[in-house]
Copies of this chain bind each other. A is one copy, B any other.
Amino acid sequence: MQKVFKNAKEAISDIKSGMSIMLGGFGLCGIPENSIDALVEADITKLTCISNNAGIDNVGLGKLLRKHQIYKMISSYVGENKEFERQLLSGELVVDLIPQGTLAERIRAGGAGIPAFFVPAGYGTEVQGDKEVREFNGKMHILEKGLRADFALVKAWKGDTKGNLIYRHTANNFNNMMAAAGIITIAEVEELVPAGELDPNCIHTPAIYVQRIFQGTDYKKQIEFETTSD
């Protein structure tokens, strides 16, 4: 079983218009840069993108927004993006905002075969909507559903030829859960090594969740707010 693909273009070649895609990353940290660039070059539109954020103007998901490839964003925070604002206000873009922890847990549940679960976040707010409400331990909770996607595009630090992944620092964020929640998961890594080189006690995403993997190139790793002490 060959999971190793040559590059992003080859790995994403069967993603089609109208599909749902999860994309890892928090802000611009840990985003699948190569896969996003390949999507931008491909003639794919009407995507539903599940990602904590929506990139910034012309970086990350901002590139897909600019080319009007996204029909709907499912995110927790979408600030810092003028083109996003414009499309949202003009009605070109549909946005579903979900509390960050609920989004993370819905993705985790999707990958773990849990169709629904109760959380306190959002109770009494507009997030509650017509969701089922129930009291547990004297506290009100709302019922949230597991979330999967046709494809998950994740970015890891190191990966092996079987598909095991290790993330670096805070570049893990949503990548680990999304890997498990994609019907097909495509991982791009900074360093692809032969199976057996990674410490099996230190794997974040076991290979069973990863269907395709490729060695990424030219990572820009742009910083949104460079803040220093000097």
Contacts and interface: CB of A to CB of B under 8 A. Distances in A.
Interface string A101-143: 0000100010011111111100000000000001011010100
A166 interface: yes
A189 B147 CA distance: 37
Contacts of A112: 105
B201 A166 contact: yes
Which size bracket describes the interface of A in this complex?
20 to 34
A105 B145 CA distance: 16
A116 B144 CA distance: 11
A117 B120 contact: no
A219 to B, nearest CB: 18
A208 to B, nearest CB: 15
A220 interface: no
Closest 7 CB pairs of A and B: A115-B136, A117-B117, A202-B202, A116-B118, A114-B117, A115-B118, A115-B141
Interface of A: 105, 109, 112-120, 134, 136-137, 139, 141, 145, 166-169, 199-202
